């Protein structure tokens, strides 16, 4: 359903639409993030090598890496309602495929295909935010998204060991349960999802020329923001995939404790994102904040490889979670680019997701290769930890990491289209 309006005053229903969409989005990331909890059971069942474990850990992000730009260019032609519905439905199918997978190759393909549906859905977010929200609320929405990510992904990580145990350590049934969750989310979006076409959105769409990719990638800050994600997500995905295994083999720490440690960090990252999003809006000091958070993240990741003490791990993951407050700041960069149009914004978000996926793809793969080369998983994770300094580097070189004080996005775009 499309709501056509002549007034540009955003109605309260925008929070329903975005709330349902974000719930579906973060649920997909939650499912991808719980692999580290399932990996010991999967590896035992399918007799996987460390390299195969690394491949499986990164597979969900391969599609983002290879297809983010061309896939978003193609899917940005479609409305957010139908695009979200189709990708949620396909995601459900691929989750059930993973639960059924009789061999490693099928499991790998199912995880890869599920990741493709996640990235294919991202243009819908760009359109919905331009349709429903004024630019002054962009950082707020992205901060709320980050908080939901922390709540859902962190909660999923904390709950996954208990779910797995309750299901008799059956990873297949666990994945089928996730498939059922996605089926419910598909129905919920089909019932509540809406589009809203305003005069500003029509003007932005009408001013879009054919040089979508060129118009998107010409922005220097987009590249710097994207590079900031690479190292951070490299470290994050490496820990998600291998930290539970390291703690189990080196310190006999149960999967429940490992999952809880990781969950606390992600949960705190969500809360931290709200706080830092507000701080950037008020102080306009986003660059300095990024500098500090990147250093905190690298130090806390490295520290988590050096101790088996649960209290110390909880302190370190708490600090690490605070550092993840950088996410809404960097993720909002495409929305603040001058003169950005709807399909260019969709491509900008896809570019950010692609750069993030470079890290999430490299993290498990590099860690698995380093483990095989050194026979030391702890050392592999320690080395990868320092990739998080990319956040600090982005803070040094971004021209701006804050929303414009005066001019709105539609106004800027309208001005750019007249030049």
With bands split at pLDDT 50, 70 and 90, how would you rate the model's confidence at 107? very high
Integer CA distances (angstroms), 304 to 39, 314, 315, 372, in order: 20, 9, 10, 21
pLDDT of residue 66: 62
Residue whose C-alpha is closest to residue 44's, from 175, 177, 171: 171
pLDDT of residue 303: 95
Q: What mean pLDDT comes out for the span 355-365?
A: 83
Cα gap 388→292, rounded to integer Å: 11
210 contacts: CB under 8 Å, gap ≥ 6: none
Cα gap 198→127, rounded to integer Å: 12
Q: What mean pLDDT comes out for the span 317-329?
A: 90
User: pTM for the full model?
Assistant: 0.67
pLDDT of residue 402: 59
Cβ atoms of 252 and 383 within 8 Å: the answer is no
Express each pLDDT in 119-132 by its tens digit. 788 778 878 887 88
For the ranges 124-133, 219-228, 311-320, which has the lowest average pLDDT?
A: 124-133
Tokens 């909890």 correspond to 37
pLDDT of residue 211: 67
What are the structural domain ranges in the chain?
8-418
Cα gap 239→22, rounded to integer Å: 24
Coil/strand/helix, residue 242: helix
pLDDT of residue 415: 37
Residue whose C-alpha is closest to residue 244's, from 27, 32, 34, 28: 34
Cα gap 183→149, rounded to integer Å: 20
For the ranges 134-138, 191-195, 325-329, 368-372, which has the lowest average pLDDT?
A: 134-138
Structure tokens at 214: 């060129």
Question: Which CATH number fits the domain 8-418, given the four candidates 1.20.1250.20, 3.80.10.10, 3.40.250.10, 3.40.47.10?
Answer: 1.20.1250.20
DSSP 11: P
Tokens 């026979």 correspond to 375
With bands split at pLDDT 50, 70 and 90, how would you rate the model's confidence at 187? very high
pLDDT above 70 (res 200): no
With bands split at pLDDT 50, 70 and 90, how would you rate the model's confidence at 319? very high
**Which is more confident, 3 or 19?**
19
**Which is more confident, 413 or 299?**
299
């Amino acid at each position: 359903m499309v709501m056509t309006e002549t007034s540009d005053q955003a109605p309260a229903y925008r929070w329903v639409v975005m709330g349902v969409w974000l719930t579906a989005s973060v649920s997909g990331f939650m499912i991808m993030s719980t692999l580290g909890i399932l990996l010991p059971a999967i590896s035992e069942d399918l007799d996987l090598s460390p390299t195969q474990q690394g491949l499986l850990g990164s597979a969900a992000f391969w599609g983002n890496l290879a297809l983010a730009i061309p896939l978003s260019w193609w899917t940005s032609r479609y409305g957010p309602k139908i695009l979200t519905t189709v990708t949620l439905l396909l995601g459900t199918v691929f989750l059930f495929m993973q639960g059924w997978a009789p061999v490693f190759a099928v499991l790998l393909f199912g995880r890869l295909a599920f990741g493709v549906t996640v990235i294919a859905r991202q243009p819908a977010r760009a359109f919905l935010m331009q349709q429903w929200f004024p630019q002054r609320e962009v950082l707020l929405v992205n901060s709320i998204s980050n908080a939901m990510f922390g709540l859902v992904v962190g909660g999923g990580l904390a709950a996954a060991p208990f779910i797995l145990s309750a299901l008799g350590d059956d990873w297949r049934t666990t994945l089928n349960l996730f498939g059922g969750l996605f089926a419910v989310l598909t129905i919920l979006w089909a019932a509540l999802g809406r589009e809203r076409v305003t005069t500003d959105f029509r003007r932005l769409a009408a001013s879009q020329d054919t040089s979508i990719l060129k118009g998107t990638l010409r922005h220097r800050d987009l590249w710097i923001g994207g590079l900031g994600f690479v190292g951070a997500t490299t470290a994050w995905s490496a820990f998600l995939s291998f930290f539970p295994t390291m703690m189990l083999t080196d310190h006999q720490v149960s999967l429940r404790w490992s999952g809880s440690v990781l969950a606390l960090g992600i949960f705190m990252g969500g809360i931290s994102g709200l706080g830092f999003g507000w701080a950037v809006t008020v102080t306009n000091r986003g660059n300095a904040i990024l500098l500090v958070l990147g250093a905190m993240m690298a130090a806390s990741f490295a520290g988590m490889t050096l101790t088996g003490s649960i209290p110390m791990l909880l302190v370190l993951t708490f600090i690490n979670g605070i550092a993840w407050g950088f996410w809404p700041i960097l993720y909002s960069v495409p929305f603040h680019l001058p003169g950005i149009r709807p399909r260019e914004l969709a491509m900008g978000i896809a570019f950010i997701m692609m750069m993030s996926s470079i890290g999430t793809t490299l993290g498990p793969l590099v860690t698995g290769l380093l483990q095989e080369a050194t026979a030391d998983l702890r050392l592999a994770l320690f080395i990868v930890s320092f990739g998080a300094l990319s956040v600090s580097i982005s803070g040094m070189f971004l021209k701006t990491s804050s929303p414009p004080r005066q001019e709105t996005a539609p106004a800027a775009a309208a001005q750019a289209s007249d030049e």
